[in-house]
Chain A
């Protein structure tokens, strides 16, 4: 089974590169090598596992690639629809790691703070 190098980047600067098979999700690949990533529903409904795509194949995300979420669509295949993400989130490169399997080498921002970027305090 084909696998791809997925580099996980935490806000504190820590990085880990893991080989994730095309038939497993990024979350499953991380669990296989005992890396703890945040998750909740595991069905694409809750967004707890949200990551942000930083680069594909060493190319910075958005460099000469189409817009409209195309970067994420090129980098991952979803097992099920990513219900927790709105169009604006998908366009901005957010990806649900519990249901996304890689189709290319890539770098992803991970950790619970990525999920908090999805919505703001509307009153503040």
Chain B
């Protein structure tokens, strides 16, 4: 942290008139809970890359309306124009951070290919039948010495920011690519070289802060997970805290050996908050970070023990690969992909998360290994929560080459999407055995399923200004 000149923690200089909200999204997180309808469709990243199925990755439109005849079915597929993308994470052109922007709509999905570096723009005006609108080819991205697009967030003025994990050759450093509101590359968002590794990021504009996490160089993680790379220090263990307006790193926190591979990073939704969480996948820990006297601090607050398995040589780490925070900032949810757990912690006191409940399903140790007679080939992975906090959904694919390493059967069976009913009042979860979406039944062959988004904003994309 660069001393006393920081704007962080200062009162906002602009006058944000929430009651004149005309743009996309909701005026506050509580308004999102109150004003939103139940999710009836999900967009889910779906992929064939790395398999012998000679077909393009696609965005699946999943029917989530229990009153519909096609409930739990993939009702539309938006196929990518080329193969080899590895669709992974995606985002909207606008979210609640732009709720002051009259005329802006939450209409376009920005869908990057993690391996191809191709960036697709999908027009989702017709929520049930979206259409591919624009494609930014990899060569255009490489011109900015960036590759491997990951997290997409909109910027409050209508532009779009994408974290990029590598340079044009798939090596370090990564950076950030900015698109304008016509979905053209505006340029690099930050002065190149601010960071080495990159992965996920989240920002709190009212606090003028952004936080980014670290996976590794694309050439390191693309082929699969190799312990030699851990020993060689090729995986990340740092959080970078940025001046959001300047695009410069103000502080870097090294999480140490207990913070290896910090992946999904989330600030609380409350725009005033400086508290957040990050899951350190390889160390099986969750860290809480927060601002204290103009400086960010990070402390390990959740620790998952490795488990012994009769057929495995070494204790199996939990690999908590995804976390999310409920819209009311009351619960932290997460997935232990290798063990096969979905968990929820009460974070009313963010420094001292209290375990509320968990489900043991799929994975290496899951108590339940099939749903509706469908054998589960992998553990819970990407999560999405309804805005009211009462329905938690998840898919099972992490990354095609890592899936093949840890859950090779998923290539033959495909992914599933499952759901738990959550009681936020009691802090409990129950698996909904009537809910199953099966990517094993796709027409071209079994597909994998990754990140989930709702048409009208969700707990892992909306930011408030």
Contact = CB atoms under 8 A, between A and B. Distances in A.
Interface string B160-204: 000000101111000000000000000000000000000000000
Contacts of A102: none
A111 B218 CA distance: 22
A90 to B, nearest CB: 13
A46 B314 contact: no
A83 B171 contact: yes
A119 B226 CA distance: 6
Contact of B219 (A45, A48, A119, A121): A45
A38 B50 contact: yes
Given A83-B170, A115-B401, A122 B51 contact: no
A119 B52 contact: no
A9 to B, nearest CB: 13
A46 B222 CA distance: 5
A42 B84 contact: yes
B218 A38 contact: no
Interface string A74-108: 00000010011110000000000000000000000
B116 interface: yes
B153 to A, nearest CB: 24
A83 B218 CA distance: 10
B83 A39 contact: yes
A120 B405 contact: yes
A89 B79 CA distance: 34
A112 B51 contact: yes
B117 A36 contact: no
B86 A40 contact: yes
A33 interface: no
A84 B169 CA distance: 11
A85 B404 CA distance: 17
A16 to B, nearest CB: 13
A116 B312 contact: no
Query: Interface size bucket, A side?
Result: 20 to 34
Q: Give the interface residue-count category, chain B.
A: 35 or more
Contacts of A41: 84, 115-117, 147, 170, 218, 222
Contacts of A19: none
Contact of B316 (A39, A111, A123): A123
B116 A40 contact: yes
B223 A121 contact: no
A95 B223 CA distance: 13
B224 interface: yes
Interface string B386-414: 00000000000000110011101001000
A116 B170 contact: no
Contact of B52 (A43, A47, A111): A111
Interface string A38-63: 11111111111010000000000000
B222 A48 contact: yes
Contacts of B81: none
A3 to B, nearest CB: 24
A4 to B, nearest CB: 24
Contacts of B312: 123-124
A119 B224 contact: yes
Contacts of A48: 49-50, 84, 115, 222, 400-401
Given A38-B49, A123-B315, A46 B115 contact: yes
Contacts of A80: 169
Nearest to B166: A45
Nearest to A46: B222
B225 interface: yes
Contacts of B226: 86, 119, 122
A18 interface: no
A118 B54 CA distance: 22
19 contacts: A36-B52, A38-B50, A38-B84, A39-B84, A40-B115, A43-B147, A45-B171, A46-B218, A46-B219, A47-B224, A48-B401, A50-B223, A80-B169, A83-B219, A115-B50, A119-B405, A122-B314, A123-B314, A124-B312
6 tightest Cβ-Cβ pairs between the two chains A and B: A45-B170, A36-B54, A40-B115, A119-B224, A47-B223, A46-B222
Interface of B: 49-52, 54, 83-84, 86, 115-117, 138, 147, 166, 168-171, 218-219, 222-228, 311-317, 400-401, 404-406, 408, 411
Interface of A: 10, 36, 38-48, 50, 80, 83-86, 111-112, 115-116, 118-124
